[in-house]
Amino acid sequence: DINWNLPEFWEDPDLPYRSLLAVLKQSTSGLPEAIAAEYPTFLRQAMGDLQRVQATRHILDHHEPDLMLLHLGELDHEAHETGAFSLNARATVEYIDQLLAVLFSSVPDGSYVAIVSDQGFETRRHVYRPNVVLKEAELAARAEVAEGLFGVTSEDAAKLFRDRLAGDK
């Protein structure tokens, strides 16, 4: 059972990824309002890393959870948008370091903290246009591109990219 839940949740793909609307619908009743009572701007902003840290601090300070899970997602988003080691991505790492310093002041003595990453990034120095590659290969497929990632609509197209990208180290 989850006692205090403020999930990362996308209900509508047309809403911004940081939209509060879907999160608030799925949250523990009264929790967002309690957080906002302590952090007045909490409900007036997008659900970014600052709001996630505010929520985590509130829960740590008032509820003493046995397990707390927190996902800070701004670095992932920024690295997809601007590159792994871009100025913006590096600034986001600095920002997250500041947020973690604030958060760690609320972690109870005797707690264990694990910081993990969901993936790594590698910045390429060229632009890759997968739909152009598909057209040049005369494949009747389409590539869907979002946040620096792409997927294709046929197995032949997938094989083409696996073969081409395997040699692009």
CA dihedral 72, 87, 149, 12 (to 10 degrees): 50
Least confident of 6-10, 28-32, 152-156: 6-10
**pLDDT for res 164:** 84
**Maximum C-alpha span of the chain:** 62
Nearest one of 117, 116, 124, 168 to 149, comparing CA atoms = 124
Question: What is the residue type of 111?
Answer: S
φ/ψ region of 154 (left if φ > 0, alpha if ψ in -120 to 50, else beta) reads: beta
* Average pLDDT score over residue span 27-52: 92
Cβ–Cβ under 8 Å, residues 85 and 24: no
pLDDT at 92 over 80: yes
pLDDT digits (tens, 9 = 90+) for 11-30: 666 666 667 877 888 899 99
Round to whole Å and give the CA distance between 110 and 64: 12
Task: Say which DSSP state 106 is in.
Answer: T
pLDDT at 56 over 90: yes
* Average pLDDT score over residue span 36-43: 93
pLDDT averaged over every residue in the chain: 86
pLDDT digits (tens, 9 = 90+) for 108-125: 999 999 988 877 776 666
pLDDT at 102 over 50: yes
Task: Say which DSSP state 28 is in.
Answer: P
Confidence of residue 96 (pLDDT cuts 50, 70, 90): very high
Question: What is the residue type of 23?
Answer: V
